[in-house]
Amino acid sequence: MGTDDYKGMESEVDQTDVAALTAPDDRSLVEALVRGERLAFKALYDRHARAVHLYVASIVRDSQLVDEVTQEAWLTLWARRASISLAGASILPWLFVTARHKSLNRLARARKQSREIELKETVLMPSGNDASLAVDLSEILAVVERIVASMPELDRELYVLCLRDGASYESAARSLGINHGAVRNRLFRIRRALRAGIATDGGWK
């Protein structure tokens, strides 16, 4: 094979493949990252951004939230760069653990906010949209705390499980050792008492 043949082979080599072969591994990049080198952060991002994004999407689903959580994971990498220590050769396990933690926190926060809205709009507010009965959410929740404190123990537990934390009827029934129908009936009574209590600022009846 002549010199011209070797030149022809060289021209066919994908430059991306060459870059991949000569690029530093994750461990070297993390060592540079610990020193605060931004180019190392960019190299890690370029290498793993898609994998982290897809992993978050498998947990969160909502596209806007996926972008936000993914960004949070990378910002955490930069913020904690001085304390990062790899157990293996790749940064991906660290990124996945961080992304999962951020994802679950966001989902829990979203469920809590959803429950607070439902509590205000469909459980606690009296029917008829009477503006004179509308109060600030913080005031509503303060009244709710007083009402819940005066409930029987089983009803307090149901309130916490289903109305505050969003557990399903089936899950609450298993936790409390009662049947689905009992959960449904007690929650109906709890909601009715909460509505009455908000309207009168009264206690458990």
Q: What is the pLDDT of residues 88-141, one digit of tens each?
A: 889 999 999 999 988 888 887 766 655 555 555 444 444 444 444 444 555 666
CB 78 within 8 A of CB 107: no
> Looking at residue 87, what is its pLDDT?
79
CB 34 within 8 A of CB 81: yes
Top-confidence residue, 169 or 123: 169
Q: Which helix (H) or strand (E) holds 127?
A: none
CB 195 within 8 A of CB 187: no
Query: Could you give the CA distance from residue 141 to residue 39 in angstroms, rounded to a whole number?
Result: 49
Range with lowest mean pLDDT among 42-51, 61-70, 149-158: 61-70
CB 171 within 8 A of CB 185: no
The three-state secondary structure class of 165 is coil
Contacts of 183 (CB under 8 A, 6+ apart): 158, 162, 169, 172, 173, 176
> What domains lie within the chain, and their CATH numbers?
3-110 (1.10.1740.10), 125-200 (1.10.10.10)
Top-confidence residue, 101 or 197: 101
Top-confidence residue, 33 or 10: 33
- Location of structure tokens 């409390």: 176
pTM beyond 0.85: the answer is no
Q: Confidence class of residue 193 from pLDDT cuts 50, 70 and 90? A: confident
Using the CB atoms, write b or e for 157-169: b if 16+ within 10 Å: ebbebbbbeebeb
On the question of pLDDT at 174 being above 70, the answer is yes
pLDDT mean over 41-52: 93
> Looking at residue 178, what is its pLDDT?
92
